[in-house]
């Protein structure tokens, strides 16, 4: 294998200047942007302005004066092009979990003769938990759930299925599904598809309109750097919008909330997916952070993310000290999202020992250490240094030290 020229890679990096737009502590190599994106300079400024000037001084007038009332929609319109979506189909609100509930219920309405929802057994737990909740509410005779392995998924798709719920990038392995292919396969049987893009949006090139996606949700606090608990986004294909009623019909999704009518009448368009009063502080941070994407293309981001992860993999596999780490992500970069995951007996201890040395990745039970490669603020030098530190930790058995074995509430 060709020796990597880290310096040259950094010199050729057309995104290198973007790092200045992030507030990152020095001496930290942040390989966890797939769990919580870092603070952006823009978000820090905006939150200060929203608290001091808007909330602090203009108080309730800010709903009109500073456009708080339609921030959820404006934020959605900023995200739309990053998903390959035309205007009028994306709005930001609530969490991925809550939005999954809304979308699954709507997708079921479009197939009233059918009662089955198919998903992956290895899906992110909250997706499965929300499915269970929907089933408890509708009753098992109206909502049957079938969970499949990725190998058997194709054979589960037939004309009895109402809805297919898939997550594009597996949170454990990083394995990536082909959205166009699976959506088309489902549509052949008249199945509505809901995509969870939590580990995709802001990292991968997406073409939701072109791929004829029905519904999608995704995360505001991962690659979009919206801050802890940032609102999620909802994508609803325009062709479905007139034909569905979402179940959490709160006043912000009403046609005219300030008419205070006793009966609910849904707003037209994707706005009907709003429920309660938007989270202005969080939305403002997300809206400001999205500015970072204004002058870059998703193709540039994806290319660098692949470059970073391939460099990491090459350095790691050529280090004999690290041969006990077994890569469980697809080795072909086109088959995985923006992360690499490794099985390792002492994954938790290694993760903690690395954090102590400033290399932040995360641990996923039972034995996986996971690294995310967010291309907007990582350099190739960071990657080389992270691997060097990992070699140092493992060769000095830092990962076996007792203080690294105590499991914290959040891993
Ligand atoms: C992070 C993540 C979520 C998060 O859901 P919240 O309700 O916003 O906490 C959901 N699904 C997947 C696949 C995720 O990776």
Three-state secondary structure along 86-122? CCCCEEEECCHHHHHHHHHHHHHHCCCCCCEEEEECC
What does the alpha-carbon distance between residue 382 and residue 7 come to, in Å, rounded to a whole number?
11
Does pTM top 0.95 for this prediction?
A: yes
- Confidence grade of residue 15 (pLDDT, cut at 50, 70, 90): very high
Whether the CA torsion 384, 333, 30, 22 is positive or negative: it is positive
Bridge partners, residue 163, by sequence: 117, 192
Is 314:1 a contact under the CB 8 Å cutoff?
Answer: yes
268-301 pLDDT tens trace: 999 999 999 999 999 999 999 999 999 999 999 9
- Confidence grade of residue 3 (pLDDT, cut at 50, 70, 90): confident
CB burial of residue 328 (10 Å; 0-12, 13-18, 19+): middle
The verdict on the CB of residue 374 being under 6 Å from ligand 1 is no
Average pLDDT of span 240-252: 98
pLDDT of the residue at 410: 86
Site to substitute for ligand 1 among 35, 96, 98, most atoms within 8 A of C-beta:
96
pLDDT of the residue at 1: 64
221 among known catalytic residues: yes
pLDDT of the residue at 363: 95
CB burial of residue 44 (10 Å; 0-12, 13-18, 19+): middle
Atom of ligand 1 nearest to the CA of 222: 1
Average pLDDT of span 199-225: 98
63-77 pLDDT tens trace: 999 999 999 999 999
209 among known catalytic residues: no
144-189 pLDDT tens trace: 999 999 899 999 999 999 999 999 999 999 999 999 999 999 999 9
Q: How many angstroms separate the Cα of 373 from the Cα of each of 11, 301, 325, 361, 364?
A: 18, 10, 18, 10, 17
Q: How far is the CA of 332 from the centre of ligand 1 (A)?
A: 25
What does the alpha-carbon distance between residue 325 and residue 334 come to, in Å, rounded to a whole number?
21
The verdict on the CB of residue 128 being under 6 Å from ligand 1 is no
């Amino acid at each position: 294998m060709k020796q990597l020229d880290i310096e040259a890679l950094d010199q050729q990096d057309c995104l290198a200047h973007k790092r200045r737009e992030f507030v990152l502590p020095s001496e930290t190599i942040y390989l966890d942007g797939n769990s919580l994106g870092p603070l952006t300079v823009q978000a820090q400024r905006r939150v200060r302005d929203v608290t001091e000037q808007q909330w602090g001084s203009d108080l309730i007038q800010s709903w009109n004066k500073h456009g708080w009332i339609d921030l959820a929609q404006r934020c959605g319109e900023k995200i739309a092009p990053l998903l390959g979506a035309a205007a009028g189909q994306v709005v930001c609100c609530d969490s991925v979990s809550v939005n999954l509930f809304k979308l699954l219920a709507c997708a079921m309405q479009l197939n009233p003769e059918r009662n089955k929802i198919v998903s992956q057994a290895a899906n992110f737990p909250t997706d499965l938990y929300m499915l269970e909740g929907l089933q408890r509410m509708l009753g098992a005779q109206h909502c049957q759930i079938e969970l499949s392995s990725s190998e058997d998924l194709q054979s589960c798709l037939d004309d009895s299925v109402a809805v297919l719920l898939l997550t594009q990038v597996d949170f454990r392995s990083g394995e990536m599904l082909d959205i166009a292919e699976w959506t088309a396969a489902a549509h052949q049987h008249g199945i509505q598809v809901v995509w969870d893009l939590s580990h995709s949006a802001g990292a991968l090139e997406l073409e939701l309109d072109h791929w004829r996606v029905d519904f999608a949700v995704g995360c505001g606090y991962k690659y979009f750097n919206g801050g802890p608990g940032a609102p999620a986004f909802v994508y609803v294909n325009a062709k479905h919008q007139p034909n569905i009623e979402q179940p959490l019909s709160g006043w912000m999704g009403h046609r005219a909330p300030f008419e205070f009518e006793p009966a609910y009448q849904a707003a037209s368009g994707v706005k009907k997916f709003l429920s309660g009063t938007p989270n202005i502080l969080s939305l403002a941070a997300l809206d400001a952070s999205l500015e970072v994407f204004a002058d870059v293309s998703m193709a540039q981001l994806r290319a660098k993310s692949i470059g970073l992860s391939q460099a990491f993999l090459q350095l790691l596999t050529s280090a004999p000290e690290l041969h006990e780490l077994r890569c469980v992500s697809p080795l072909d970069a086109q088959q995985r999202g923006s992360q690499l995951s490794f099985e390792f007996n002492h994954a938790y201890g290694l993760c903690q020992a690395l954090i102590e040395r400033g290399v932040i990745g995360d641990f996923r039970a039972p034995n996986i250490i996971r690294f995310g490669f967010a291309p907007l603020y990582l350099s190739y030098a960071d990657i080389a240094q992270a691997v060097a530190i990992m070699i140092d930790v493992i060769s000095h058995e830092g990962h076996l030290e007792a203080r690294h074995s105590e499991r914290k509430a959040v891993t």
